[in-house]
Chain A
Amino acid sequence: MEGPDEVIHQSTRLRITSILNALSSAELMEFSTLKALISASDGNMATHLTALEKAGYIAVTKDFLGKKPRTRVALTADGRRAFTRHVAYLKALLEG
């Protein structure tokens, strides 16, 4: 059995990846929406998103909607695979 994913397992990062994994691969989530769903502060979110981005698990896209800056986040293919592996590990731990 493969070990847990240390990047994903941290509580806030687990919630972030769970939410992003529930979206389709073509779907991006706005930072403000993700923050509201997680109920985390801007600073806390930025720290955990940076950790996930460094691991190559999420992609952050910054653009403008009209004149308003917009930050959107999505799980990468690597992130989706890592999340799936981590969930399989958790399930195996409970069943084993």
Chain B
Amino acid sequence: MQISRDEAAQALSDINDARSRVDKLHGYGDAAPFLILWGMVWLVANSTTQFAPALADMAWLVGILTGTTLTIVLASVQAKRRGARDTNQAGQSAQVAMRMGVSQGVVLAFFVAMVSIVWPLDARQFNALISLFWACTYMGVGVWIGMRLFWIGAITALAILFGFFNIEHYYSLWMGVAGGGSLIAGGLWLRRV
């Protein structure tokens, strides 16, 4: 069997393409449970704010604490699985994860500083800002791991902006159903090949 240099180059290109498809599949699979989890938190906490305003603070507190705890658990389970996937790159992955964590910390610090500067904000503005912050984060991460995540962030951001400027009385419900719903639907979409 004879293989020309062109055929060899094409074969190596196909191999790289296959590798990047698997990486994207893993990236989507890793991101999906986080979107579904936080979509549920948005849905439940915003719906509570709409229909039982007296319980709103408690709903957000419980939602954020639960979401954060489960995020940490999921992230550590995934980090172990990533290590098993490619032990040669485990050290490199840890370094990348640390840089990503620091970058996220910088952006979060900017967000806190920005809110401090523009404070006071009403609950509606604060809800829109923090939700937009996360939707834009998904867009930014999507540029790196796959465009599906980018579009989920973009649709969520548009839903938030539409609700903020156009919906008066049912704003929290809109944020729960449209914002949280788009995250849940997006997470389910990411799980499909």
Could you tell me which A residues sit within 8 Å of B by CB distance? 3-4, 6, 9, 11, 14-15, 18-19, 22-24, 26-27, 32-33, 36-37, 87, 90-91, 93-94
Size class of the contact patch on chain B: 10 to 19
Which applies to chain A's interface (DSSP): helix, strand, loop or mixed? helix
A-B contact pairs, 5 of them (CB 8 A): A18-B19, A33-B25, A94-B8, A94-B9, A94-B12
Contact A18 B84 (CB under 8 A): no
Known: A3-B1, A24-B84. 9 other contacts (CB 8 A): A6-B1, A15-B14, A18-B18, A19-B18, A23-B85, A87-B12, A90-B11, A91-B12, A94-B9
B5 at the interface (CB under 8 A from A): yes
Contact B11 A9 (CB under 8 A): yes
Closest residue to B10 on the A side, CB-wise? A11
Residue from B9, B14, B22 within 8 A of A22 (CB atoms): B22
Closest residue to A6 on the B side, CB-wise? B1
Interface string of B1-43 (1 = CB under 8 A from A): 1010100110110110011011101000000000000000000
